[in-house]
Structure formats: C-alpha cells, structure tokens
C-alpha cells in the first residue's frame, strides 16, 4: 500500500463537548470524493492532546469503518510515553488502520538515542507500517537525519512526516535514506519545495477545506507538470498563511465552520480565534471562493 500524495490531517469535530461522529463521517466522505489520498485521524490537527483514550480509540475505529479501505487510514498513535504509544498503535492495528503516525515524544526531550529506542520499541511491539513525525516546534526536540537513517533500517518504519521547516534537513534525509523511506511534508507551505527535493506527498491541514487543490498540487508534480504545481501553490498560498495565523488547529476549525461542515468548537487550552484574524481568514476563504 502506498502512503503518498495528499493525506489529510483531519480535524476531530466537536458538538457540545462530544466528538461529532456525523460531521466526521461527512468530512471523510467529502475528502475521498475530492481526491484525498489518505485520512490521518488523531494527529495534532485532530486535537489528540485533549481527547480521552476512549475518544482517541473510537475516532480511529470510526474512521476505519467509514473509509472502508477506499484509501489508507494512518492513525496518529504517538505519545511521550513509549508504553502508551505502543498501546495506541496496537489498538490501531486491531481495528484495521493501515499505518501509524508517531510524533516524537514531546515535553520530556529525549536524546537522539532515546528517540531511536522509543521508535524501535514501538516498531518491534506492533507489526504495522509506521511513519515517524518530526516537528520540533511542538516537541522541543529535533530528530536528526542520522537518527532517521538509523530508524529507516527497521523493516516496518516506512516513512517520515518532516515538519522541521528545513529543506536542508529534508535533503539530508532523502540523501541518507533514498527509497527506503517515504518523506512527507509536515508543512503545507513547504510541500512544493519538499517535493522538489524528493518528498512524495504531504500530511496536510489545508486539505480540510481545500482537498481538491492539495490533491491537484501533488498530482501535478507527480505527473511532471512543475508549472501547474507552482500555479496551484501560489493560488492557495494565502490560505496556507491564513490557516497558521494562530496555533493549529484553531484556524482550520473556524475555516471548516465557515464552510458549514462542522462547528468551530475547540477544547481548552485552545480557544477561539481573535476577531481580527478570523476576519483575515474569512477574506481569504471568500477570495478563493471556498465560502
């Protein structure tokens, strides 16, 4: 199974404090209908940090049920506790997820050796394709290309969502790992330049509201049409900017709400967007005829 193309880091819609399964099911159907190549539930965008364990597992299971193997489901199963990451990954496998996305342990700041041992332990405990997720801005630790290359030797570690914001780092990972590892962009605005240095797709926030455009961007590059990919990149670049005016997933939840597809409800400590930023986001959505 291929884990490439435009993979949506899907929001977890809430209504009155509970997961809104009706809205989530409808969003998944809309994603698949608009060319999204895979669904990634319970990532940062899915507010995994404030889901209970029961909710987390239910969202993964529900996503698998709705998708019905039409596209891959890559479940967010990472934690800053290795045992907990193993538990979530085992569960994801048991309900039929196709792969797991494992964020680097956050807050406890492991060394490079600690990162290696963490991911090795999860990979050995659960026979499921696993994708590393490096995003130092959220975890306070950067996984070096050398550590990534060590982990790429492990059979079921098959990819990395790279969100350090460094094209130099992406280039080093591609150079060290070659075809052994699928590199995915972890930053929507860097998708095109990352494709240019060897990435094979993106785990995208923007696809929550512009799935066809994100899919078309990656597909154009894969088809060898750099000019078309560049044109799409610049067309939706204002959206990339607007969706990160405040901490993700605050803006994307408001954007989905503006389209009438779910509420903008968040869980504390995340709170609604400032009116000024919401006005900016609304203008961009109108300019792109998304609302």
CATH of the domain at 166: 3.20.20.70
pLDDT for the residue numbered 16: 97
Domain coverage including residue 13: 5-223
Does some domain include residue 237?
A: no
For residue 3, the 8-state DSSP code is -
Does some domain include residue 68?
A: yes
Tens of each residue's pLDDT in the chain, 291 residues = 889 999 999 999 999 999 999 999 999 999 999 999 999 999 999 999 999 999 999 999 999 999 999 999 999 999 999 999 999 999 999 999 999 999 999 999 999 999 999 999 999 999 999 999 999 999 999 999 999 999 999 999 999 999 999 999 999 999 999 999 999 999 999 999 999 999 999 999 999 999 999 999 999 999 999 999 999 999 999 999 999 999 999 999 999 999 999 999 999 999 999 999 999 999 999 999 999
Query: Structure pTM?
Result: 0.97
Does some domain include residue 229?
A: no
What residues are labeled active site? 133, 161
pLDDT for the residue numbered 241: 98
The count of structural domains within the chain is 1
For residue 144, the 8-state DSSP code is P
pLDDT for the residue numbered 2: 87
- Please name which of 170, 202, 187 lies closest in space to residue 243, comparing C-alpha atoms: 187
Return d(Cα 255, Cα 257) in angstroms, integer: 5
Does some domain include residue 34?
A: yes
Please, are residues 7 and 184 in contact by the beta-carbon 8 Å criterion? yes
**Which residues have CB under 8 Å from 41's CB, separation 6+?**
10, 12, 59, 60, 63, 73, 75, 76
Does some domain include residue 109?
A: yes
Does some domain include residue 175?
A: yes
Return d(Cα 101, Cα 218) in angstroms, integer: 20
Distances (CA, A) of 176 to 28, 145, 153, 198, 209: 35, 7, 11, 12, 35
Using DSSP bridges, classify how beta strands 18-19 and 130-134 pair: parallel, antiparallel or unpaired.
Answer: unpaired
Return d(Cα 3, Cα 250) in angstroms, integer: 27
For residue 105, the 8-state DSSP code is P
pLDDT for the residue numbered 1: 80
Does some domain include residue 131?
A: yes
Does some domain include residue 278?
A: no
């Amino acid at each position: 199974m291929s884990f490439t193309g435009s993979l949506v880091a899907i929001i977890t819609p809430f209504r009155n404090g509970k997961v809104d399964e009706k809205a989530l099911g409808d969003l998944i159907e809309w994603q698949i209908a608009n060319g999204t190549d895979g669904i990634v539930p319970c990532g940062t965008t899915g507010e995994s940090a404030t889901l209970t364990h029961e909710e987390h597992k239910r969202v993964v299971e529900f996503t698998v049920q709705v998708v019905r193997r039409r596209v891959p489901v890559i479940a967010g199963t990472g934690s800053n506790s290795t045992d907990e990451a193993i538990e979530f990954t085992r569960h994801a496998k048991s309900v039929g997820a196709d792969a797991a996305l494992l964020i680097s342990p956050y807050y406890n700041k492991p060394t490079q050796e600690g990162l290696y041992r963490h991911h090795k332990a999860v990979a050995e405990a659960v026979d499921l394709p696993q994708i590393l997720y490096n995003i130092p801005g959220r975890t306070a630790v950067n996984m070096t290309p050398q550590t990534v290359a060590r982990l790429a030797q492990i059979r079921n570690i098959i990819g990395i969502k790279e969100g350090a914001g460094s094209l130099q780092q992406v280039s080093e990972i591609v150079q060290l790992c070659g075809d052994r590892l699928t590199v995915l962009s972890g930053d929507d605005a860097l998708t095109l330049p990352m494709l240019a240095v060897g990435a094979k797709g993106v785990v995208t926030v923007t696809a929550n509201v512009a799935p066809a455009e994100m899919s078309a961007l990656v597909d154009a590059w894969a088809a060898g049409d750099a000019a078309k990919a560049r044109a799409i990149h610049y067309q939706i670049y204002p959206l990339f900017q607007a969706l990160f005016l405040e901490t993700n997933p605050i803006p994307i939840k408001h954007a989905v709400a503006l389209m009438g597809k779910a509420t903008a409800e968040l869980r504390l400590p995340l709170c609604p967007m400032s009116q000024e930023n919401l006005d900016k986001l609304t203008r961009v959505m109108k300019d792109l005829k998304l609302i």
